Each structure stands twice: as C-alpha cells, then as structure tokens.
Amino acid sequence: MDADALCELVERDCELMALQAAVLAARDARGRLVVGEGPPGIGKSALLRMASEHARAAGVGQLRARGEQLERRYA
C-alpha cells in the first residue's frame, strides 16, 4: 500500500476490511460482489485503488473497465 493512498482514506477501516475480505474470497474461488456508490469526492476511486493493491498482493487477477461521459445513456 502506498502512503498517499492511505492518507486519502481517513476513517475507512470498515470499507477496507470488506474489500480485503472480498479479495481473499475471490482468491479462494468464492465469488463476491462489492458495490460502492456515493457523491463525488468521498473516496470511491481511492477505495478501488486500495482493493486493486490488495488483489495484486494476493495474486488475484483483475479486469478493469471505465464508462465515459458519452456512454451515460447506455444501461
């Protein structure tokens, strides 16, 4: 974990533990779904970066995608 990411995540212990549990479950072939929602600026992207770091450290493969502004009208 990098220090900058940890500085971004103040009082997010519960969320980080849930993400780490999901990563470990995925590593053990027990699927999980994690949904994060909230207004802009509350740290959703920082939490995703931390989950990605946990996954990389645990040897879990990752696929990433990102929607763009022009794709908003598609479900």
Report whether 54 contacts 20 (CB < 8 A).
yes
| Confidence (pTM) | 0.71
- Token pair for 72: 């908003």
pLDDT digits (tens, 9 = 90+) for 40-66: 888 888 998 999 999 999 999 888 887
**Spatial CB neighbours of 31, under 8 Å, sequence gap ≥ 6:** 25
Task: Give the rounded distance of the alpha carbon of 16 from its chain centre.
Answer: 9
What do you get for the CA distance between the two ends of the chain, in Å? 34
Reported as a single tens digit per residue, the pLDDT across 16-49 is 999 999 999 999 999 888 888 888 888 888 998 9
Q: Which residues contact 24 (CB under 8 A, 6 or more apart)?
A: 58
